[in-house]
Amino acid sequence: MDTIKSIGYPIYFSDSLGQLANFIKQSKYSRFFILTDENTGKHCLPLLNEKLAGMENFDLIEINAGEESKDIDFCIGVWKMLIDFGADRQSLMINLGGGVVSDLGGFAASTFKRGIDFVHVPTTLLSQVDASVGGKTGIDIDSIKNIIGTFTQPKAVFIEYDFLKTLPARQILSGLAEMLKHGLICDSGYWSLLKASDLKKPAPELVYYSVEIKNKVVIEDPKEMGIRKSLNFGHTVGHAVETYSLLNDGGKALSHGEAVAIGMICESFLSHKKAGLSADELEEIVNVISGLYPKYSISEDIFAELYTYMQKDKKNQNGKINCTLLTQIGQYSIDHVCTEDELYESLKYYTKIQYATFR
């Protein structure tokens, strides 16, 4: 697996932590700040420390694990720590963690003193195949995901497969949703490969292919003016369900991938209704997803609430809800305006699917 070239920066796959140590040794940064959460601080930081042994000037900023840490209040906390530590413009931020760490750390760095450099060391499958590539940073306000952010590229990304080995199954499933999405929107061959693989433990090659697909998309359209919208498949409904769950389910909230899995079923239904996706392919998608993910109970009473979250989606224009749909497996189509009724119908469709397990 070669190093992938993204927008002005490399994505390393082989001996990634060694590459990070080289990157730091060869750099001229004055100071280094490692942003972690309590989990990566425990499970991943020791491995990093081993590789960086003997190097100086590292300061640690630890946040709580979980989406709640992406709130603006926590971002202010990170900024204040950078101030207190005396971070200057020649400092480097090293984001060691999942998507929360890379989104928040990327945003905090890209705005601190009008921008300091940062690199990502993604430690979850989700952040390896999604958040770490593409230059999106973001934080939440009032639980509205990534409502504030920048497009700022990291200086490098270091993808260490070994970090995945200790991840709980639910975390693997969360990243898997984005991998399935990559196949569905762009690459039917990759979709077939995924179907035929052991998806409880995705092989390194599958991670690599996903990053390659995502990278191709974002290189063509860094600021989401066109093709990059393809990556939003499953996310219009998915983000709404995720926001709802985050506000209502406490410690049992859906993971990002679990919510996107629901979103992909709803938006595949809409794809069948509005964009030409065949009934067979709809069924195939539903079978794969419902075979992997537990069912989430969505009562009709909350459809209206979900709809208000969809209305706040960044992709909308003139208050209309804008979905990316599939014309077939491996082929997306952007800018489908979906009505309230259509979205409700898609949610009803989801609730009627037969699942092996219920949560």
Contact residues for a copy of itself (CB under 8 A)? 30, 72, 76, 79-80, 83, 86, 88-90, 107, 110-115, 136-138, 141-142, 144, 146-151, 223-224, 311-312, 314-319
Report CA-CA distances (Å) from 259 to 42, 238, 244.
Answer: 27, 5, 10
Give 76 or 356: the residue with its C-beta nearer to a copy of itself: 76
Closest to a copy of itself by CB, 111 or 132? 111
CB of 120 to a copy of itself, least distance (A): 17
Closer to a copy of itself by CB, 84 or 301: give it: 84
Reference 268, options 145, 175, 171, 180; nearest CA is 180
Closest to a copy of itself by CB, 271 or 322:
322
Contact 103, 127 (CB under 8 A): no
CB of 134 to a copy of itself, least distance (A): 11
CB proximity list for 5: less than 8 A, separation 6 or greater: 11
72 or 302: CB nearest a copy of itself:
72
DSSP 62-100: EE-SSGGGGBHHHHHHHHHHHHHTT--TTEEEEEEESHH
- Cβ nearer to a copy of itself, comparing 79 with 355: 79
Residue with Cβ nearer a copy of itself (41 or 135): 135
Buried b (16+ CB within 10 A) or exposed e, 159-187: bbbebbeebeeebbbbbbbbbbbbbbbbb
Q: How far apart are CA 271 and CA 69, in angstroms?
A: 34
Q: What's the min distance (Å) between Cβ of 67 and a copy of itself?
A: 18
Residues contacting 219, CB < 8 A, separation 6+: 6, 7
Token pair for residue 191? 């979709």
Helix/strand/coil for 149? coil
In angstroms, give the least distance from the CB of 96 to a copy of itself.
22
Q: For the chain, what is the radius of gyration of the CA atoms?
A: 20
**Smallest distance from a copy of itself to CB 155, Å:** 15
Q: How near is the Cβ of 89 to a copy of itself at its closest, in Å?
A: 6
Beta-bridge mates of residue 4: 11
Give the shortest CB-344-to-a copy of itself separation in angstroms.
21
